[in-house]
Amino acid sequence: MGTRRNILLDCDPGIDDAIALCLAAAHPEAFRLLGITTVAGNQTIEKVTENALRLSEFLGLHAPVARGARTPVIREPLTASGIHGKNGLGDVLFPRTTAEPVKESAVLFMRNRIMELPPKEKVTLVAIGPLTNVGLLLKACPEVRERILEIVVMGGASTGGNVTSNAEFNIYEDPEGAAMVFLSGLPLVMCGLDVTEKCGLDREDMELLLQRGGRVSEKIGKMLQFYLDSPGYRSKKAASIHDAVTFMYLLHPEIFQGEKMYVQVDCSRGISRGATVCDRRSGAPGQELPVLVLLDADTEKFREYLLEGIFSLDEKKEL
């Protein structure tokens, strides 16, 4: 897994965001979480920020949380309450916290944490919500560019979508913000639907989590139950744990396969708005801006490592 990474997590918790945070909490030897920033997406900015605060404390991360963009760059936000529930966490209640967001905005918070690092250190941005905050950071604070090791994004797809026939939710939510990130020229890993829909947990896993009855596993089991009973997953064998793929890739890149290609975000007002157009042609324009697009994964290894991480949190007395 290499050396411990400096991580800034931009998210919109979200059931799968919560499970991604479990992986971060389960592997302090791999990740130094500098902070969490929130963005409107799965739920409103108020709800996802409260979720981030509660999850950070519940999982023993105790990371500072900065509230981010209330809306996408251009339009009003959508939410995914049908998938994630009224509170964004499958209507599962986590303990209240007295922690509050820092006074800095998400963009200023990220900028300051990055520039405060020792000169030779860099940060990995893990972005598992709409890319509004990250896009604005790169646009408004170009000085951070040389301090970013890479950006690992959950979003997009080489073909198809889940909110429209052509677009995945996070990119569709804010195509303009996403375009700023994909055109940045920074090292970028796209964990899109091609791979995330192969990385999930099923009803047997749900029962296993619930039967274990641990402090963390029980909460995850209840959220997974809500996920699997939601309209989007009711007819499917497993629920995709999209956002956890980002941290899993950083932990176990060997279980994934991908291809470098030029990716352009469709910001039109047409039927393809929010699509991530992947150009695999040799010598095609934009080859100087390659994105590593993950396309496949060892499904069983993903499941094994994810459950192992969740179960390990049940044993941590300091949570």
Kindly list the catalytic residues: 242
Q: Which residue has the tokens 């997406």?
A: 41
Nearest Cα residue to 22 out of 247, 299, 300: 247
Give the strand order in the sheet containing 290-297: 65-66, 31-38, 5-11, 123-127, 148-154, 188-191, 290-297, 256-265, 276-279
